[in-house]
Amino acid sequence: MGSGAGRARERVQEAEILSDSPEETLTLTEQIRRRANEIWLENGQRDGSALADWLQAEQEILQEPKG
């Protein structure tokens, strides 16, 4: 894993650990970080997938209907 990708993945993992708030109180960035981490875990923790995981998470979060 490259150093840039490693730092990005660490930030995603850190956000997951630190963010215990209910979804509705999380900032958009925090919601995307959590979902990107879930995607990374679901896909077998592939190296080099941070950007793709982030973009997928961002798309999913932004398409969610607002209640």
Q: Tokens for 30, please give them.
A: 């925090």
Q: Tokens for 13, please give them.
A: 């993992």
Is residue 37 a contact partner of residue 12, using CB atoms and an 8 Å limit?
yes
Q: Supply the pLDDT for residue 64.
A: 80
9 membership: H or E segment, kind and range: helix 3-18
Q: Which residue has the higher pLDDT, 5 or 20?
A: 5
Q: What is the pLDDT of residues 10-49, one digit of tens each?
A: 666 665 555 555 556 889 999 999 999 999 999 999 999 9
Q: Tokens for 46, please give them.
A: 């592939």
Residue 1 has pLDDT above 50, yes or no: no
Q: In the chain, where are the structural domains located?
A: 3-63
pTM: 0.62
Is residue 13 a contact partner of residue 1, using CB atoms and an 8 Å limit?
no
